[in-house]
Chain A
Amino acid sequence: MVKFLSEEWIEIGKKYILEKLDPVKDLKSITTSLLGVVEHIPPDDITMNFYLELEGGKLIHFIVNTGDTFDEKEATYEIRGNYGTYKSVLQGKMSLGIAVLKNRLKVKGSKMQALKLIKPLDGVIVSLKEITDEFED
């Protein structure tokens, strides 16, 4: 059982992405960084974030933090949403694209650029979907 946003989630996530995803084929050699802010995490209604950086399609950083900022690095994109929304996306009940269009996930920066990222990031999302199987109620 791997719980969303746990240390284990990061470790297994990293391993999975590095081992199973081809930087060129699956991740289209993208270079980008993303801060995912997760709000209203039960049971104490806290905020956490994860920072993910890819260079030439290779995963460089995947880090989880508390709070809604990550001071060490400045991400190119920030997406922000409720724990419930991330859960729906990771459970495959809602696509990332529709979460953005429904304003459930808010993108900081250009929406055009962020939407361009959806396709290449698909592999990462699928990986995280694969490994995440436990959520707070």
Chain B
Amino acid sequence: MTSDKAIAVEKISFKDAVEIAKKGTHCGMCRFDFLESGVCPAGRKHGFLAYWPQGRMELVQQLDSGRVKPTEKLIDIVNSCSLCGICDKQCNFTTQLRPEKVAKALKDFVDNFDKNEFQNVSEDDILRGLREIVGEEWATNDPCIIASYTMSILPSNTKLNYYIVMPENTEQVSKIIRFANKNNIPFLPRSGGTAFSAAAPTVLAKGLSLEQGIVIDLYRLRKLEIHPESCTATVGAGITMFELQKEALKNKLRALAAEAGAHVCSNIVTTGIISTWGNRYGAFADNFIDLTTVDDEGDIKKHSDWERNNPYSTEPGFTNLSLTPHNIVTEAVVKLHPIFDDEEVVLVPFDNLRDAYRLLIKLGKRGVGLSLAVLSRKYLAEFLSPTLQISKDFDYVCKNYLKLNYVVSVICNQDDKKIVEDMVDYTIDQSLMKSLILGAPRFSTLKDSEFMKILSEEEDPLNAIFAGPMRDHLEKALDPSPENVSKVFDDDLQEFFKKVYSKPEMTDIVWLHAFRILPTRMLRQQMFMGPGGAMWTGDENHYLNWIQMFSDMGDKLNVEHSLGFITPLDHGKFAYMEYDYYYDHNDPDVCDRISKIVVDSMEQSLVMGKVLTILNYLFKGIYRKEHVLYPLAEGISKEEQELFKELLETVLGEEL
């Protein structure tokens, strides 16, 4: 059935649809209801990625490239979409793309395709075995469905020699693994796909993706129970961070939050949840009370089981690298944290990184604040701006007129707020942040204004704007309102976005920090790669030199780059740093340069020492931070550096 609205969907050619689809970055924001607009009904019902907007976009590209031919299942896939337009609202908020146009073009493509040419895909023994475990509907070897998983677990250059299976519970996961082993078929779990997609255009895909075999899509493990009395939640592997946070909030509780679309269990396994709330709420095994895991023999275990080897420790050292998980976590009992009535945001602006870093570490060591981070100008611009162009202009104004290059962002209660305010000359408060969000389009047009020119002539423009009389002028100039910000969206979506921006949470920095719906704006129509890691904070110069190394590498390889964030860990003894590189994922040349940055920056970091690089972080999340971060890593020797190079050569080939 096609709704009346479908008729109104602008018709575009298949080629144009491919162009839109190519700009998609598999951020996964279309798979949960972050704008209260609802969520794709077809995806919700059928589960497989091909039924979600994200998967349809990938499928269109795969059909266009000829890697996959239309199958009978494709008819079902297009018919399941009623062109309801939910995906346009969600995707437009994040990336300004219109997936509905792609869905419509796919429908037209199927309508015009010779009915006799659709391929019939038959069931084989493996599929039969998988269906016996999960039921007929939830396992497939259909190439169209398989192809939709490209770039978010499958590489783009393999044969489509896969099965996709969607178990409903831990026992089914266990049975799938036993079955896969018996038949000597590799397998890999997939959750939100956010880590996979970030790795996909780079050399990391070689290690992270599945070359053939069974994709275990964990979306159907959707248990979510909040236990207010113990401040915990039981979370199935199919639940996103956003969904957990939403339920927790109903009970005035908060989960340690990272990427909104990342699944909680996966995030625990993958990185131990790197978060600006980590100094207060913890990291790695601090996050959970218990885990249910299925190991690669299919054995189900709990961390709390008696009489098992210590599940919290791991080998130290730089060769302890793992590019896939050791176990599948099917359920986690995670800790939740109280929300205070008097929480607020305080942002301290800086023109230079050293001062910002110094304040951050001081606060981290004193245990001030709940969420604590240095955010770069680029981050602020990306997050607050509704479109890519506005973010560029926003960035320009901050850099050239305000000299606003970094902020220390503190979410805290009133006691801590006072401490921060006593330590600095001026701050940016919630009210001004609200104005910046609702006035972002105007802010970016101040580029050539007289107002900005006068401001930039001030000796300390930050002081003048945030502590002086010019603040009122700025607020007036921004003319902030939901209506004004909504005007930058496509005409037919403006009414919707006016309502979205009228909601208090959309301008509430505390909520935005906890629900993290803005970071995927870094992925709007382009990719980012964010290497970094956790470094010991005992030597300020060492830390800042490390950041400079990433910056130099970006300059050298001519890739757009910027610091992302720094956040303290373990009472400020460490600080996690992400350095971001932005690039066009459709350009193979820049993808190669990004790969080089990933490898070279890791090598340089290891040589510098006192750091756990992001690649060493991977798949350590279920261990205690005390075992992962300690003993403090010393810089590697020349001999070890050679070993590292050899190791990478055997793994990645010599092309780097």
Contact B646 A118, beta carbon cutoff 8 Å: yes
Flag if B651 contacts A95 (CB, 8 Å). Answer: yes
Known contacts A94-B211, A102-B207; is-contact A118 B323 (Cβ 8 Å): no
Contact (Cβ within 8 A) B647 A40: no
Select A45's contact among B182, B185, B320, B646, beta carbons within 8 Å.
B182
Within 8 A of B (CB), among A102-136: 102-104, 110-112, 115-116, 118-119
Who on chain B is nearest to A119 by CB? B646
Q: Which residues of B contact A85 (CB under 8 A)?
A: 186
Pair A98/B206 contact, Cβ less than 8 Å:
yes
Which residues of A are found within 8 Å of B322, using beta-carbon distances? 101, 103
**Whole-angstrom CA separation of A73 from B174 in the bound complex:** 34
* A40–B296 CB distance below 8 A: no
Judged by a CB distance under 8 angstroms, whether B315 is at the interface is: yes
Shortest C-beta distance, B52 to chain A (Å), equals: 27
A40 to B297, CA, bound (A): 10
Task: Judge whether B310 is part of the interface by a CB distance below 8 angstroms.
Answer: no
Residues on B with beta carbons closer than 8 Å to the beta carbon of A82: 181, 184
Interchain CB contact under 8 A, A101 and B207: yes
A84 and B651 form a contact (CB under 8 A) = no
Complex contact A116–B643 (CB within 8 A): yes
Q: Which residue of B lies closest to A135 (CB)?
A: B184
Q: Does B413 contact A (CB under 8 A)?
A: no
**A111 in contact with B650 given A84-B185, A103-B296 (CB within 8 Å):** no
Which residues does chain A contribute within 8 Å of B315, judged by CB atoms?
Answer: 110-112
* Residue B362 at the chain A interface, CB threshold 8 Å: no
Q: Is the beta-carbon distance between A39 and B181 smaller than 8 angstroms?
A: yes
Contact pattern, A 6-44, Cβ under 8 Å of B = 1, otherwise 0: 000000000000000000000000000000000110100
Complex Cα gap A24–B181 (Å): 39
- Separation in Å of the A136 CB from the closest CB of chain B? 9
By CB atoms of chain A within 10 A, which of B182, B184, B319, B650 has the most? B184
A116 to chain B, nearest CB (A): 6
Contacts of A84 in B (CB 8 A): 184-186
Q: Are A101 and B321 in contact (CB under 8 A)?
A: yes
Q: Which residues of A contact B647 (CB under 8 A)?
A: 97, 115, 118
A103 touches B324 (CB 8 A): yes
Contact residues in B for A94 (Cβ distance below 8 Å): 211
A92 to chain B, nearest CB (A): 13
CA distance A70 to B297 in the complex (A): 21
Q: Which residues from B are CB-within-8-Å of A42?
A: 184
Task: Report Cα–Cα, A102/B647, bound state, in Å.
Answer: 13
Which B residues are CB-close (under 8 A) to A95? 650-651
Contact of A97 among B320, B324, B325, B650 (CB under 8 A): B650
User: Quick one: CB contact mask for B290-309 with A, threshold 8 Å, 1 for yes?
Assistant: 00000010000000000000
A119 and B650 in contact, given A39-B181, A82-B181, A82-B184 (Cβ under 8 angstroms)? yes
Complex CA distance for A44 and B646, rounded to whole angstroms: 38
Contact B651 A40 (CB under 8 A): no
How does the 8 Å CB contact mask read for A76-102 relative to B, with 1 for contact and 0 for none? Answer: 000000111101000001111110011
A99 shortest CB reach to chain B, Å: 10
Q: What distance in Å separates the Cβ of A47 from its nearest Cβ neighbour in chain B?
A: 11
Contact call A87/B184, Cβ cutoff below 8 A: yes
Set of chain A residues within 8 Å of B296, measured between Cβ atoms:
103
Q: Is the CB of B184 within 8 A of A115?
A: no
Which residues of A sit under 8 angstroms from B186, Cβ to Cβ?
A: 84-85, 104
Q: Which of B185, B317, B319, B324 contacts A102 (CB 8 A)?
A: B324
**Mask for B262-301, Cβ within 8 A of A = 1, else 0?**
0000000000000000000000000000000000100000
Q: A residues within 8 Å of B by Cβ? A: 39-40, 42, 45, 82-85, 87, 93-98, 101-104, 110-112, 115-116, 118-119
Top 10 closest A-B pairs, CB basis? Answer: A84-B184, A97-B650, A112-B319, A97-B651, A101-B323, A102-B324, A40-B181, A98-B651, A115-B319, A95-B650
Given contacts A111-B320, A115-B643, 12 further A-B contacts (CB under 8 A): A40-B181, A87-B184, A93-B211, A94-B211, A97-B651, A102-B323, A103-B324, A110-B315, A111-B317, A111-B319, A118-B646, A118-B650
